[in-house]
Amino acid sequence: MAIEWIEQVTGAIGQKKRYRQYKARTEQLPENYRAAIDALDRYLMYFGSITKGDTLVSMLEDLADLFDESAASGIPIRAIVGEDPVEFAEAFLQNYSEGQWIDKERKRLIDAIDRVAGNEP
């Protein structure tokens, strides 16, 4: 019991530290890349509703990697996100679907239909 609590506390502290490091990294980006990643960050937080902190932090770190490398290589923002930033964000988010509240609801829907359909003659 105590071990689980310690792991939860230290895990949360580690996630906060990683998140602060992510924010510090994004502050170092050129202004237009920083504005783009901030907009994506906001959308991903609201749209993704990721519940597992570790998944969230990993996703944001990967996004920062993408923008760091793109800025260093001079890749234009449109070349990163394409013409539809929503499509890019949602495709990016699909790589981190574990832990999203919608996954739980999808499973709940599937299970409910399976249950009632199994009772049909």
29: left (phi over 0), alpha (psi -120 to 50) or beta: beta
pLDDT at 34 over 80: yes
Spatial distance between the Cα atoms of 64 and 80, rounded to a whole number of angstroms:
12
Which residue in 57, 55, 41, 26 sits closest to 89, CA to CA? Answer: 41
34 neighbors 26 (Cβ within 8 angstroms): yes
pLDDT digits (tens, 9 = 90+) for 49-99: 555 667 888 889 999 999 999 999 999 999 999 999 999 998 898 888 766
* pLDDT of 100 over the 70 cut: no
Cβ atoms within 10 A of the Cβ of 70, count? 19
Tell me, rounded to whole angstroms, the distance of Cα 1 from its chain centroid: 30
Q: Let me know: does 98 contact 92? Beta carbons within 8 Å.
A: no
Element (H, E) at 117: helix 101-118
pLDDT at 119 over 70: no
Residue-averaged pLDDT of the chain: 84
State the amino acid at position 72 in one-letter form.
A
